[in-house]
A = this chain, B = another copy of it.
């Protein structure tokens, strides 16, 4: 069973053992389209079995100039990103690709760089990266040309470095959070930001501000004073129960920096307390911490405070009361990403996949920044009449 000293059996060993040529062995192993005798096949397979042969991927890849490997770089393995990785792995596997997943440990630029360098040295066929901590220039320099790069949840990447970006619509979701909080009776709304978090906080802030502005415009419009913007008014038409709003108190506070206690202090101070306070948090994790702090202070959720999170983590449903949050369309996102990348790699996509892709592209900014909507999942933490706690 052993050939030499410690050497693993090669295709040549198998050929000798089976009494055929190396080419034949290769053909059998790779299930080529060349016609092969059933006898030959079984001879080879038996030899493979006897010798315990396993193909050497490095040699195969070197020879065929293709690694069938895709690289994924995410900030961490938890929650959304973890689900993302698992789903994407599944998707690309259907096309014969492997996915190597690396965490940049909270968007550490050095780690990002290192992982990316490794993937390129391994001649990965394609790269999928979270909006990176590295500068555009650095990234451009590293990835150069030749290796397709798809960005997800990253904004403003020039086309010469990333072919496309598939993003979640955090701005839209944030505006929706504001709208929903107001609709549920809040007259003061706050965004619990986390500016150091490895995610799209800026997009959330922008969307939050936008949402506030939009509602104010609508309120003003209802009073016949002026309007903010024709288009905005149109969208504000969705806001049905807040016609009487005169003034909305709103603010963006960095809970990451303040901590939940100081954050809540400021929130309570800024709001007039004559209506429930709405808090939209950067993530479910922050929402949970805030919820806990409310409990500790005897602030009733959702009666006095209404909470919205983001990510639909398992614990947001398991907490008490369950936290309203946004569902992340991980599957749609990974599917689109896989399609984009595989297309660039010259794979044959199914017609429906192509249709989906071109549809998504058509609605994208410049065809290069696809935006996927998030779905609000209303739960107890934002209910109107608080039965909960």
A67 beta carbon closer than 8 Å to chain B: yes
C-alpha gap A165/B217 in the complex (Å): 64
Interface size of A as a range = 35 or more
Contacts of A114 in B (CB 8 A): 93
Using a CB–CB cutoff of 8 Å, the interface residues on chain A facing chain B are: 6, 8, 52, 54-59, 61-62, 67, 76-79, 81-83, 85-86, 89-90, 93, 98, 100-103, 105, 114, 117-118, 120-123, 144, 146, 285, 288-289, 291-292, 295-296, 313-315, 318-320, 322, 389
B86 touches A123 (CB 8 A): no
C-alpha gap A288/B318 in the complex (Å): 6
C-alpha gap A146/B52 in the complex (Å): 12
A82 nearest in chain B by CB position: B77
Smallest CB separation, A31 vs chain B (Å): 15
Partner pick for A288 among B117, B315, B389, CB 8 A cutoff = B315
C-alpha gap A122/B78 in the complex (Å): 27
C-alpha gap A285/B313 in the complex (Å): 11
In this complex, which of A56, A117, A285 has the most chain B Cβ atoms within 10 angstroms of its Cβ? Answer: A56
Shortest 6 CB-CB contacts between residues of A and residues of B: A77-B82, A77-B77, A295-B320, A57-B121, A292-B320, A315-B315
Partner pick for A58 among B52, B62, B291, CB 8 A cutoff = B62
A318 touches B295 (CB 8 A): no
Q: List 16 additional A-B contacts (Cβ < 8 Å) besides A291-B320, A319-B319.
A: A54-B120, A55-B121, A57-B121, A58-B58, A58-B61, A58-B123, A77-B85, A77-B86, A78-B78, A86-B103, A90-B105, A101-B102, A285-B315, A288-B315, A292-B319, A296-B320
